[in-house]
Amino acid sequence: MSSYGQARARYASDTTATVSPARLVTMLYDRVVGDLVAAEEAMRAQDFAAVGTRIGRAQEILLELHATLDLAIWPEGEPLSRLYLWMVGELMQARLRLQPERVADCRQLLEPLRDAWHQAATGRPADDPGATPGAVPPPLTPTVTATITSVAPVGAA
């Protein structure tokens, strides 16, 4: 690895080690949404290497988000846990069947969650450049809540 590559990896490592947990979650959501946008575009352009890279990274992030949910502290998080796992499977199927609309469906489910986390972490919407930390998160919208609770458990038909 070049010295630039090492410096960049060190910066990324230091950044993730020093940010608040809420900021880290927003960074993960930003990355997974960005990866899904890029995967969908790559799929439409038949850039299969990029599809594999982007969907693989999105799946890793979803599994990390799933693994960090502490259902002992927040039992109401079970539907969100199932949603993360469902999306991992959905992205696998999208990749195997070359169906960009399935990637778009996952992205559309994640965007309101990402926006809610941004608002929770900063007190302002994700697209507000003047956002500052410290506010209480708003409740999820009825659409997001209904989506989370309606996802079938992994392995269900």
**Which pLDDT tens digit goes with each residue over 59-114?**
999 999 999 999 999 999 999 999 999 999 999 999 999 999 999 999 999 999 99
DSSP character at residue 76? G
| Tally of CB atoms within 10 A around 147 | 17
Per-residue pLDDT for 11 more than 60? Answer: no
Note the CATH number of domain 16-150: 1.20.120.340
Res 151: pLDDT: 45
**Which pLDDT tens digit goes with each residue over 15-32?**
556 678 888 999 999 999
Tell me which residue of 7, 42, 39 sits closest to 105, measured CA to CA. 39
- Angle CA 48–49–52, to nearest 5: 85
User: Structural domain boundaries of the chain?
Assistant: 16-150
* pLDDT band of 14, cuts 50, 70, 90: low
Res 19: pLDDT: 79
